[in-house]
Structure 1
């Protein structure tokens, strides 16, 4: 090409960061990578999706941060691709553009009454207690006696666990003070975790279940009848050791006597939501037995948090398959119909769907980086090719948060934590973040 390969990565979560790291390592000195992030803060769902009480998992930010310390990689935060700069403009300034925009939308349940007040996607709740600057949550809903979490993945257990954490436990995390205050004073006494299929199909891990079983603030309850399996279902379990371990843990929970704690978490399996009842706010959740839809029951609930999966959102300037909720691709190369879009790539959930753990993104990023490097000789940005993007952003008044400015935000969070005896307290207001970054 006669000059260094210039790559733009849109999204600074694990998939985007890993892709930048691999490109920087594999391409030697002949690459420069700009990572764009719409928030002033990096790390995506590691910062705003991993439960605050899972500090060991969140510690991966140390490794991710090292990626942005590389002289070959720049962080450009507080830049929204699609409005501050378009995909087309990025393609004009860079030889390759990698979209790592994740899956920010929740999958709807698709049942009557889902729009009632009090039926709120679990991700909104997670974003709120994680201090996401765009998150809103009506804390008056925490006055409900019962909350229902629909879904049996790790996110569902995170939500249930956060609802019963004691104030002292919450103060060991980095959640903002107003979140601790709201959760410490909420009136929810029972949390029901509802699964559409039997317990053998639960998606949460045994490790997550064991952690939930040991919470101080609630009795965790499983009705033994929920664990009675037919011969056919037992045969399914027999050949799957992880499922057997999960069922064994559920059985241990079922065998325990409740301790009479002020709150409880109850598992309900084989229930499919078929509707919500209420005038303006939800009051009842209607469930049908998945195995026998003629059996219908009403469960009183003032707060319902569906956690049944995510989907990506269309980004202007890139093809999108609404049927699968992802950007179509062939071997990580974005496709439009049968044609490959030159110089446009995908990585992470927008590529493969919302599946896997943080480490899964490294393999996914390796595949995408390999595709970019395989095409490198043929890649060249149009219109004079790969000029600096900085002038364009400055002309539009975009206040870019670079890596040093993010470090200033991080310092402010640690200082805020030190003032109240905590390691760190997240800034959650975007304006306050920009003040801390020195660019308000």
Structure 2
């Protein structure tokens, strides 16, 4: 009887799990069968869902339920707390697997080239998100002493950052935020949050639901200036052809014509303001300078030469995420992606044999979580085509025990899917003690300890 197709997936976030699901749903799963190992550098699975989605988004975090069902399948194993390439590299993976799929996502902030962006008090959104999501590899505290804050960007990450800065800590207590995050947010001094976009309402990249959620907080007054509601022919075309863009614009219009209420924290959404400089004094942020822009007829904008200085004491840039280069793989530094054709990694003009990508490392950090399903389906279809055509590189040690022996012999203290069940139970127990659903465990060592079986003395 032929052995199962052995596939390694590096990254156990949504993209990697969707790839595993696509493999399980393929005809290969029946004949000759598949054996899938997911390698994740964090001790827990779920990637972006656990460490990149704001904690007050239970609907989005509900995607975990579907991902959980995939990882429950007996043909799939999880190796957590395993770093690529520190603990296992590409040559090692090729020793044990017929194919390797990289789904490592994007966790760094894209750079923004304006003067003053590196001043103290200027931050990347990704770093802030990692902090409030309890990422084990970032500092436990965050400076929240600014009363007026600027957020640069008009996408969903900018909304997450702005909302977390504007909400009270007690509003977030029902979520899974760790204790250190709750204490940090309780000391937050921000009373005004200003979100800046260089183009207009029709070009904003918010999703309608995320935008409307801003107005649900009893403590946040969302304010849009009437003069920021403007459209040209290109903007009207966008609204007619894109239902989501039209819904976003309509919401902003409604906010622009209402009276300003009395909720204590003000969240301003500014359009047609292009950041040109972060202003500093003694090395710290003391303001932001923007240039007023205007539509040019196509939906794009041009500068007007009119500048405004905004009184803010910290700045968060939310202008996009960027993937990190993966050793032994080609990398496009401009797009932050691995060159590929349909998920097949391309080096020069040739397919790097048995090597594939999916998710944000494949197409860049754009779109919603569900969009990675299409990436996974395309990549897996091409992987299976290569398998059927005998184009994969045969591994020297394809047995399932070979990789576990390798990690054990290397001294890697890896976590497993059973370990996730134990960690999950530990976090739920912490939450139950305080009348909450869950409290996230943050320190890496504590996560690993909670993932391991309890040994009797």
* Contact map agreement 1:150 1:308 (CA 8 A) in 2: yes
Matched, 1:303 2:314: yes
For residue 6 of structure 1, what is the aligned residue in structure 2? 6
How do 1:58-73 and structure 2 match up within 5 A?
58-73=61-76
Deviations 1:350-384 (A, max 9, x none): 11111221221112111111111111142554562
Match of 2:382 among 361, 364, 371: 371
How do 1:11-410 and structure 2 match up within 5 A?
11-26=11-26, 27-29=28-30, 30-136=33-139, 139-140=142-143, 142-230=144-232, 233-234=235-236, 236-278=238-280, 279-290=282-293, 291-377=302-388, 378-382=390-394, 384-387=396-399, 388-410=402-424
1:439 Cα shift? 7.8
1:175 Cα shift? 0.5
C-alpha separation in 2, matches of 1:31 and 1:380 = 14
Report how many residues are paired: 439
Judging changes above 3 Å, is the alpha-carbon distance between structure 1 residues 229 and 356 closer, same or farther for their aligned structure 2 residues? closer
Gaps of 5+ in 1: none
* Contact map agreement 1:10 1:100 (CA 8 A) in 2: yes
TM-score of the aligned structures, taking structure 1 as reference length = 0.95
C-alpha separation in 2, matches of 1:363 and 1:386 = 29
Deviations 1:154-176 (A, max 9, x none): 11111111222233321110011
* Contact map agreement 1:166 1:216 (CA 8 A) in 2: no
Judging changes above 3 Å, is the alpha-carbon distance between structure 1 residues 323 and 68 closer, same or farther for their aligned structure 2 residues? same
Judging changes above 3 Å, is the alpha-carbon distance between structure 1 residues 207 and 319 closer, same or farther for their aligned structure 2 residues? same
* Contact map agreement 2:94 2:395 (CA 8 A) in 1: no
Judging changes above 3 Å, is the alpha-carbon distance between structure 1 residues 312 and 67 closer, same or farther for their aligned structure 2 residues? same
C-alpha separation in 2, matches of 1:366 and 1:146 = 45
DSSP 3-state at the match of 1:376: helix
Deviates more, 1:377-386 or 1:198-207: 377-386
Match of 1:412 among 426, 433, 436: 426
1:411 Cα shift? 0.8
C-alpha separation in 2, matches of 1:270 and 1:200 = 11
* Contact map agreement 2:108 2:323 (CA 8 A) in 1: yes
* Contact map agreement 2:238 2:245 (CA 8 A) in 1: no
Judging changes above 3 Å, is the alpha-carbon distance between structure 1 residues 235 and 359 closer, same or farther for their aligned structure 2 residues? closer
DSSP 3-state at the match of 2:123: coil
The CA RMSD measured in Å over matched residues stands at: 1.9
* Contact map agreement 1:5 1:32 (CA 8 A) in 2: yes
C-alpha separation in 2, matches of 1:236 and 1:399 = 52
Judging changes above 3 Å, is the alpha-carbon distance between structure 1 residues 404 and 16 closer, same or farther for their aligned structure 2 residues? same
After TM superposition, where is structure 1 displaced by more than 6 Å over at least 4 residues in a row? Answer: none
Deviations 1:141-191 (A, max 9, x none): x11111111111111111111222233321110011221122122111100
* Contact map agreement 1:273 1:288 (CA 8 A) in 2: yes
1:241 Cα shift? 3.9
DSSP 3-state at the match of 1:314: coil
Gaps of 5+ in 2: 294-301
